[in-house]
Structure 1
Amino acid sequence: MSVMSAQFPEFRDQTVLVSGGGSGIGAALVEGFARQGAKVSFLDVAEAESLDLVQRLAGETAHPVSFHHTDLRDIDALRRTVNAVVEKSGPIRVLVNNAAWDDRHEFDDVTEDYWDNNQAVNLRHVFFTSQAAAPSMRAAGGGAIINMSSIAFKLNMGVFPAYAAAKAAVIGLTKSMAGRLGPENIRVNCILPGMVVTERQMKLWLTEESIARSLQRQCLKIVLKADAIVGPALFLASDCAAGMTAQSLIVDGGVL
């Protein structure tokens, strides 16, 4: 992973919380904010990957990153974890609601239980993590929330209807939260990644051939890796974006 050269001094010693931070885009975000001097905590259920990330960054950042094993479907546990982060590190300055599950599922096979679980993993926690973090942001005079959507729902892809529905809903939720929290100086924006090649994607879905086909649709003929999302997230969370809220930023190499 390349180290971001841009520096945002406003993040130094500030508390940043990332959900789904143990691998993929989330891990890149954890590292990106940590290398800015922030006190970064992250939530994940993947213990082995998360502990590997903590160990890899040990001694390389101004503050050690903090991993909290949390099942985001358990809202009470989620609230306890957010409160523990605030108690340990101080008011949350930046929240990145990144956690998601892009499981492929056949339209005819989706059950009520599957649908509800999918929405719990991909949508519900976005609201409740934000709700839990908001009091500390208010107390500190403001903050920034970044929600992670996807361009997938814009491409008429039939392989994950529940996931697509959740990612579309994240944009609506972003705009509603921006309207509610803006008067309290809390900004809420959204990032829509395109095809970001991660280890999980390569293991489960992508091939060299499918990546090549996707590149044909992009204006930029580069393979997007997880760190392609770090710069946009830093920008949206920073003072450079102080006048931006309720916005959706597409990072897809020029597909849309």
Structure 2
Amino acid sequence: MLGIFDSGFGGLTVLKDIHRRLPSLSTVYLGDNARAPYGTRPQDEIFAFTLEGVRALFGMGCPLVILACNTASTNALRRIQQEILPTEFPDRRVLGVIRPTVERIGAAERVGVFATPATVASGAYERELGGPVPQIDCPGLVDMIEQGRDRTQDADEMVAGFCEEMMALDPRLETALLGCTHYPLVEGLFKKHLPEDVRILGQGPIVADALADYLDRHPDISARIRTDGERTYLTTANSVDDSLASRFYGKPISFTPTS
């Protein structure tokens, strides 16, 4: 099976595009809803929680895990790849969402990033893009989305403030990257409060295309992922709101607690 890990429901916006692009893949999604959100946690804690999730998915037989979470990708991916996999899991792989996203952005584009405080603080997008990038951290937005409050006036006003900050940083902005997989649920608010000519870039289709390319180039990994279309949704929480999860995914789904 292909493993997908996220701090909560956000990775479902990526998973739905993976299923559209590669519908026969057998997948297991693990959301750490019990400890969500990750965006304001310290880096060592994010690393520990992410590694725990990756190990759990490896234990379920996944040869490849996608960190469908920008905060986990920016604060844990490199350490897992460099410090953990070579000694503990040399035949397994972990991929994130940052690199494929950056590869899709044109070199000459004026891009700004909306992300969690932890993602912005990591400096990952500036490293990958090779220089300073306007970034707005969005404290509280993930919490609001996970609580199902993304259609409220409070959410509208919050996103309006973030967009105003971004345009003050770069009035000539061309592309706004939603650098958190939760943010597609409020993409309409970003469109509402940014100039009409600013392109909104989400990560789901980008990651799905990158995964398809990766599997084509790594048949040894691809051969170990079943293609019977089985889909499993797990959560570390005792219970979650399946109706909210279904909004992230776009279709009715149901989660099972891991314990």
Q: What TM-score do you get using the length of structure 1 for normalisation?
A: 0.33
- Larger RCO (CA under 8 A, 6+ residues apart): 2
